[in-house]
Structure 1
Amino acid sequence: MYAAQGGACVEVEPVQRNPWSTLAVLALAQFMVVLDVTIVNVALPDIQQDLGFSASGLQWVVSAYTLLFGGFLLLGGRAADLLGRRRLFIIGLLVFGVTSLIAGLAQNPEQLVIMRAVQGLGGALLSPAAFAILTVTYAKGRERNIAMGVWGGLAGLGGTLGVIAGGLLVDSLSWRWVFLVNVPIAVALAVIVPLFVRESKITSTGTRTFDVAGALLSTAGLLAIVLGVIRAEPEGWASLQVIALLVGGLAMLGAFIGVEARSSAPLVPLSLFRSRGLTTSILALALNGAAFLAMFFLTAIFLQQVRGLTALETGLQFLPMGIAAITSAVVSAQLVTRFGTKPVQFGGAALSVVGLLLLSGADATGSYALTILPGLILFGMGIIATGTPASIAAVSDVEHEQAGAASGVVNAGYQVGGALGLAAITTFATSHVEGLLTGGSAPQDALVGGFERGLLIAAIFAAANIAIALGAPRLRPTIDEVENAAVAA
């Protein structure tokens, strides 16, 4: 059976399946992937102590996943279209499940980081395949909007519940279970997917290329730059090793642009960047990712190592931020339709800055309600109020047939920006801690100083989004356009 989609033929199985059962399977898989992003953060201090991670090396538990996820996201989407979306979805599930198992059994930092990287690759195969299945399963209009709403809602819920689930698992069992919990879910989904999800793929007679070279060059270049930033703390910015990594990374990214310019079917069509809305949105979401990942990483460690909280107590202290983010998603969507994207994006960036500045003033003994809670709530509201209008603007003036590529580029930009920002911010924070310890400060005071320095730098990233918002287009989309853009990006 064939159907037309975007000028190509989409081959689908003639077998009839309940579309809402399909949605349940896809949403559960996406819930697992999003849950994994936040569930790990509250386990970081236990992972560091048990496996012997250095202060600078610990960030790779997060960065390895996000870099590979973002770096191969577009390749995963292309492979799903050409090889079969259900097939890639199942492969992604199995890769995710197997690497979760090995990560949970890791005996040293190297094993865990490598498995986290491959786990990110599994997510890069799974997520775009699931989203593509969703779009071909439901007709455009009310049914698709309902499906997208459920998909997006469960994704947001996964991020919020991750910190609670992580805390429960770490305190009642061990940090290893934040990875092992994925295994039975992934296996069960892989078994039942053929029962509820039909196969589909593009069968166009045009160019069928995966652009593997582009994906490898971009990901390797970004990994080199992140490693260069991290090595700058022990080696110094002027060291040959750091300079070689940074220059090599930039060279590979330059080669990536060259490959994309010559490719007949590039992963990233360079013509997309003629769109002011897309360009400003990529920058805005990359900065959003940098501020968010760094804040989450530093605050999770601060709450446990400085304030002495358990993993569960840490998760509960993050919970109001998740609730604020969910509330902000609803409110910002309404504000965008009334006032347009630009003022909402500007206001969201400003809220993020204020939240980070308030949070940076927390110390080892101050009241949670006065020194931590206000910053978490404002930051949770601001990060979503910045991202929602940016996601809408990203596809505002992009051709319809390139909308999928644009959404993929924006999503990849968020992941990659988060990894690069986390590397830079934690490197400066760790360097400040080492400087304070060398100067005779008590360990707890040094950790507080590093936390403050890191959040102040994150606030600078968030403040840059105020300038980005000023250059972004002002649009007044409909509610349907808001929902679709927010979910797609």
Structure 2
Amino acid sequence: MENMNPEPATAAHRAAILAIILASYFMILLDNSVIFTALPSLQADLQLGTGELSWVQDAYTLVFGGLLLLGARAGDLLGRRRVFVFGLVVFSVASLLIGLAPSGWWAISGRAIQGIGAAIVAPASLSLLTASFPEGRERTRAVALYGATAGMGASLGLVIGGALAHWISWRAGFFVNVPIGAAMIALAPRFLPETGRARGRFDLFGALSATLGVGALVFGIINTADAGWASAATVTAVTAGIVLLVVFVLIERRAAQPIMQLRLFASRRRAGAYVARFLYLGAMIAFFFFTTQFLQEVLGFDPLQAGMGFLPMTAVNFAVAMGIPRLVNRMPGSIPLVAGILITLAGMFWLSRVGVDSSYLTDVAFPMVLIGAGQGLAFAPLTSFGIVGAPAADAGAASGLVNTFHQVGTCLGLGIAVAAAATVPAAGAAAAHLAAQVSAALTTGSVLLLLALAVTAALILPADLAARRVLIPLGAAPAPLAEAAR
């Protein structure tokens, strides 16, 4: 594929590209979390049961995660800017439909359509970013800001969702996407580079088996909260999910043009980054989902106060993330990554000790500061290692895998945390029971972070240090040597 537009020549042009990509990516990540602080208002307005309410989130993340690889492939074949704009149109229209939703199932269907748009925009945005910024300092800074956006989108979504639900309506959190999406749709053709169409086929069977496999697995895990692990529905769903994912891998091994290039896992750094991202995001979704409930149902915060309650994490996250580009230019990126996961783990474990008598300042805000600092350190290196060394022809596939493991980690992490919380027996007052459930869920999140730390230490750290030793004496390592060091 070749660029149809020339490489951007000015700093202002590159700044416009970065702004469009980050604003679009921020918008779709915002909807992963903007709903959390607004869930009680939405539930009351649309008269949803607990099970239906969970699908307001799960419909989005399941479709998002399940179709990401197909979305990445679409960008490679049809042109990344063209696909990016189409995804923004789908996402913006779906946001409008959710804001107008007269019923729960209308809202859930709209969230699924939103997931389709997000699955198109997310991989295209990262591919356009890597195509627009040359290797070196500029790309390092751009990728760092992209990674920071992932953390801040989740954090600020809680603040924005709580504020809008308190002052206006839960619907405003979706209406706000419409003018932002329209602005990005108008600006993208003017500034973003286009890639030409390429000959190829869509791996529809691979996409279908991946989406159904992840969906069945998540459904089975979530179903344990009500029916337990021994129920026929749980066993059937989990078994079907595992079988379908095995089928997916077999399809990808034999497909002439697979949506998931298995060769991308040959790099220890990339493979480690995908698995570590999966585990890290599984822990973070448990933190967001259950801490929001703790603030409102145990500490008595209203939606606005609950959203503002996340500001210590958000502020620290932003401050640390802004320093990452300078940091990774001075040391191997695996060092801040290990430090970030370790600091996040410390904050998560501290927060998991909450109880019905906990105070916000000492038991919630202080751990949040650690979690925010850890996020600020970890997200950018995780993103960078997910695309490091990927051939230009696989840029879309590598970007798709970064976002796929992000969203699938979110789906499965939430299911595992909900299942862990459901093991807490009901006893005493409702607030005390919920506090115990939150503690169990966040303890589970701590275990996921510990596993992410182990994966990073075993795969990413040694490979990154080895690559660093090859690159430093050579100044710029030839591709075969750089790849061997991975």
Q: TM-score, length-normalised on structure 1? A: 0.85
- Determine which of 310, 335, 339 is the counterpart of 1:347: 339
Deviation of the 1:245 alpha carbon: 1.0
SS of 1:187's equivalent in the other structure is helix
For residues 296 and 313 of structure 1, the distance between their equivalents in structure 2, rounded to whole angstroms, comes to 15
**Partner residue of 2:171?**
176
Counterpart amino acid of residue 287 in structure 2 = M
Deviation of the 1:450 alpha carbon: 0.9
Deviation of the 1:32 alpha carbon: 1.8
2:116 is aligned with 1:121:
yes
Counterpart amino acid of residue 452 in structure 1 = S
Q: Do the aligned residues in 2 keep the contact of 1:170 with 1:311 (CA within 8 Å)? A: yes
The Cα offsets for residues 431-460 of structure 1, whole Å up to 9 and x where unpaired, read as: 42xx31xxx421111111111111111111
Pairing of 1:86-125 with structure 2 (within 5 A):
86-125=81-120
Counterpart amino acid of residue 447 in structure 2 = I
SS of 2:107's equivalent in the other structure is helix
For residues 449 and 8 of structure 2, the distance between their equivalents in structure 1, rounded to whole angstroms, comes to 49
- Determine which of 397, 407, 411 is the counterpart of 1:405: 397
2:354 is aligned with 1:358:
no
Counterpart amino acid of residue 186 in structure 1 = G
- Determine which of 434, 444, 460 is the counterpart of 2:447: 460
2:428 is aligned with 1:441:
yes
For residues 421 and 154 of structure 1, the distance between their equivalents in structure 2, rounded to whole angstroms, comes to 20
The Cα offsets for residues 240-260 of structure 1, whole Å up to 9 and x where unpaired, read as: 211111111112111111211
Deviation of the 1:404 alpha carbon: 4.3
For residues 128 and 345 of structure 1, the distance between their equivalents in structure 2, rounded to whole angstroms, comes to 22
SS of 2:195's equivalent in the other structure is strand
Deviation of the 1:52 alpha carbon: 3.8
Q: Percent of aligned positions with the same letter in both sequences? A: 34
Deviation of the 1:270 alpha carbon: 1.5
Deviation of the 1:96 alpha carbon: 0.8
**Partner residue of 2:481?**
none
Q: Do the aligned residues in 2 keep the contact of 1:10 with 1:203 (CA within 8 Å)? A: no
- Determine which of 175, 187, 201 is the counterpart of 2:195: 201
**Partner residue of 1:484?**
none
For residues 202 and 137 of structure 2, the distance between their equivalents in structure 1, rounded to whole angstroms, comes to 33
Pairing of 1:46-445 with structure 2 (within 5 A):
46-137=41-132, 157-194=152-189, 196-197=190-191, 200-204=194-198, 207-330=199-322, 336=328, 338=330, 340-396=332-388, 398-399=390-391, 401-432=393-424, 435-436=425-426, 440-445=427-432
Structure 2 residue runs of 5 or longer lacking an equivalent are 477-486
Counterpart amino acid of residue 409 in structure 2 = G
Counterpart amino acid of residue 443 in structure 1 = A
Q: Do the aligned residues in 2 keep the contact of 1:40 with 1:178 (CA within 8 Å)? A: yes
Deviation of the 1:13 alpha carbon: 8.7
User: Which of 145-154 and 275-284 deviates more?
Assistant: 145-154
For residues 326 and 342 of structure 1, the distance between their equivalents in structure 2, rounded to whole angstroms, comes to 20
Q: Superposition RMSD on alpha carbons, in Å? A: 3.1
SS of 1:264's equivalent in the other structure is coil
Deviation of the 1:378 alpha carbon: 1.2
1:153–1:420 Cα change, 3 Å: closer
For residues 379 and 16 of structure 1, the distance between their equivalents in structure 2, rounded to whole angstroms, comes to 39
Aligned positions, number: 465
2:40 is aligned with 1:9:
no
**Partner residue of 2:460?**
473
For residues 111 and 187 of structure 1, the distance between their equivalents in structure 2, rounded to whole angstroms, comes to 23
User: Which of 265-274 and 170-179 deviates more?
Assistant: 265-274
Q: Do the aligned residues in 2 keep the contact of 1:82 with 1:201 (CA within 8 Å)? A: no
The Cα offsets for residues 225-246 of structure 1, whole Å up to 9 and x where unpaired, read as: 1111111222221122111111
**Partner residue of 1:29?**
24
**Partner residue of 2:482?**
none
Q: Do the aligned residues in 2 keep the contact of 1:56 with 1:427 (CA within 8 Å)? A: no
Q: Do the aligned residues in 2 keep the contact of 1:53 with 1:109 (CA within 8 Å)? A: yes
Q: Do the aligned residues in 1 keep the contact of 2:37 with 2:303 (CA within 8 Å)? A: yes
1:401–1:84 Cα change, 3 Å: closer
For residues 177 and 224 of structure 2, the distance between their equivalents in structure 1, rounded to whole angstroms, comes to 35
Q: Do the aligned residues in 2 keep the contact of 1:105 with 1:176 (CA within 8 Å)? A: yes
For residues 123 and 451 of structure 2, the distance between their equivalents in structure 1, rounded to whole angstroms, comes to 29
Q: Do the aligned residues in 1 keep the contact of 2:122 with 2:400 (CA within 8 Å)? A: no
User: Which of 20-29 and 119-128 deviates more?
Assistant: 20-29
Q: Do the aligned residues in 1 keep the contact of 2:29 with 2:153 (CA within 8 Å)? A: yes
1:330–1:301 Cα change, 3 Å: same
Q: Do the aligned residues in 2 keep the contact of 1:425 with 1:454 (CA within 8 Å)? A: yes
For residues 140 and 291 of structure 2, the distance between their equivalents in structure 1, rounded to whole angstroms, comes to 35
Counterpart amino acid of residue 356 in structure 1 = M
Q: TM-score, length-normalised on structure 2? A: 0.86
For residues 14 and 276 of structure 1, the distance between their equivalents in structure 2, rounded to whole angstroms, comes to 31
SS of 2:433's equivalent in the other structure is helix
The Cα offsets for residues 89-143 of structure 1, whole Å up to 9 and x where unpaired, read as: 2221221112112222334433322221220110111233333344445555666
Deviation of the 1:325 alpha carbon: 1.9
Deviation of the 1:322 alpha carbon: 1.4
The Cα offsets for residues 355-399 of structure 1, whole Å up to 9 and x where unpaired, read as: 112112223443322111121111222234344444444445655
1:382–1:10 Cα change, 3 Å: same
